[in-house]
Each structure stands twice: as structure tokens, then as C-alpha cells.
Amino acid sequence: MVKKIILGALITTSAFAAHQAELNVNNKEVEGQIRLDLSQMGVALDGAYAGARILNGDESNSDRIGNIDPLMEVSFMVMRPVDSVPGLALGLGIKGEYTKFDGHRYAAIPLGLEADMKLPLATPFPFYVGGALYYAPSVLAFHDADKYLETRIHLDVEPIHNGRIEVGYRQIDTDVKNHNITYNDAFYFGLRLDF
């Protein structure tokens, strides 16, 4: 089912002039994400993106979770270059997260920061380093949720224009009331296409 959803998302990405389509995998999980460049769709806000992501998490990369559903996300972010630092772009975003595990319904609205920097290396193709930090305190956590924390770091290489190969690490904590729970703690590799 998740494979069909991700394949459908990648197909519709091209139909709606998406800015980015990304697919990340490891030996147990698959994660798909699309981001639409809203300025290409008539919105006057430059650098604004709306997106969706699904992460089909596995119990072996989680702690204290036995029955895990995919983590679904919708997002909005504004990302712009930093004029004083060549190659660096910073973004501020908000996301809506939803999943179910071990009989708990989990929803949160984290706020966050993302960064992407083209490394100043003399190589045949560009390298990038990036990361993200999203947090939702209990006031932005709903149903059985208590808080949300996501950290991510990745290294990308762009062997062809607008096509990146990515190696990264993510940790997603989906704490419920009275329990600290890590939904996902894993390394991954993937492919990102920019349109």
C-alpha cells in the first residue's frame, strides 16, 4: 500500500510542476516526499513550498513500539539564500504529523528550521550538507501525543544537474503522555530530483 502511495505521489509530482521529489530508503524502510514550489503556481511569495511526506517506519528502527503505522505529513516552508554566506539557504517551516502505534493516535504541529549549504570544494560535481530541526511542545501535540522532535542531517552529491544522491541520518521522537518514544532512528540513502 505504501509503495503505491509513493509511486502515485512521484507520478503526480511531475503533473503539478513540483519543485522537489525525494525517495529515501534503508534495508527496512521507505520514505517519499514531494515539495511544490508555490511561486510556480502563481503565489507571490518567493521561496515558499508546500509538501507532503510519508515514512513507512519499521519497529526495528524504533524503541518501545510494536505495532507501527506510517508517519504522514503535510508541510509549508519558506526557504531563501543567506546573502552574507555564499551557498547557504535557510528555511522556516511548519508541519502537520499523524500516525498510530500501539493503540495510540498521534498528531503534532511542529515548527522548525532547515538548512542547505553547497560546500566550497573543488570537485567535478557539487557537494551539499543539510539538516533540519522540528519541535512541537505539548501545546502543539494532540490526541495521545505529548511532544514531537525531529532531527535530520544529510550529505548530498549532485552528479547531474538537479539530481542528488543523498546519505543521511534521521531521528524522530513521538513522545506520548508518560512515555518517551522514538518513532524512527535510522541511517538512509536516497535520490532527490529538482524540477
**Predicted confidence (pLDDT) at residue 162 exceeds the cutoff of 70:** yes
Q: For 29-81, what is each residue's pLDDT tens digit?
A: 999 999 998 887 777 788 899 999 999 988 877 777 778 899 999 999 999 99
Q: For 69-124, what is each residue's pLDDT tens digit?
A: 999 999 999 999 999 999 999 999 999 999 998 888 999 999 999 999 999 999 99
The pLDDT assigned to 163 comes to: 96
* Residues 33, 158, 169, 191, CA torsion sign: positive
Measure the CA–CA gap between 108 and 146, rounded to whole angstroms: 9
Q: Residue 88 phi/psi, 5° resolution?
A: -100, 130
The pLDDT assigned to 181 comes to: 87
Round the average pLDDT of the chain to a whole number and report it. 89
Bigger pLDDT: 6 or 147? Answer: 147
Give me the percent of the chain exceeding a pLDDT of 70: 90
Judge contact between 24 and 154, C-beta under 8 A.
no
The contacts of residue 82 (CB under 8 Å, 6+ apart) are 88, 89, 90
Domains along the chain with CATH numbers:
39-48+58-67+78-194 (2.40.160)
The contacts of residue 123 (CB under 8 Å, 6+ apart) are none
The contacts of residue 27 (CB under 8 Å, 6+ apart) are none
**Predicted confidence (pLDDT) at residue 14 exceeds the cutoff of 50:** no
In this structure, the chain runs to a length of 195
**Predicted confidence (pLDDT) at residue 6 exceeds the cutoff of 80:** no
The pLDDT assigned to 44 comes to: 78
Give me the helices (H) in the chain, please.
2-15
The pLDDT assigned to 177 comes to: 86
The pLDDT confidence band at residue 18, using thresholds 50, 70 and 90, is low
Burial 66-103 (b: 16+ CB within 10 A, else e): eebbbbebebebebeeeeeeeeebebebbbbbbbbbbe
C-alpha cell, 152: 535530520
Measure the CA–CA gap between 185 and 57, rounded to whole angstroms: 9
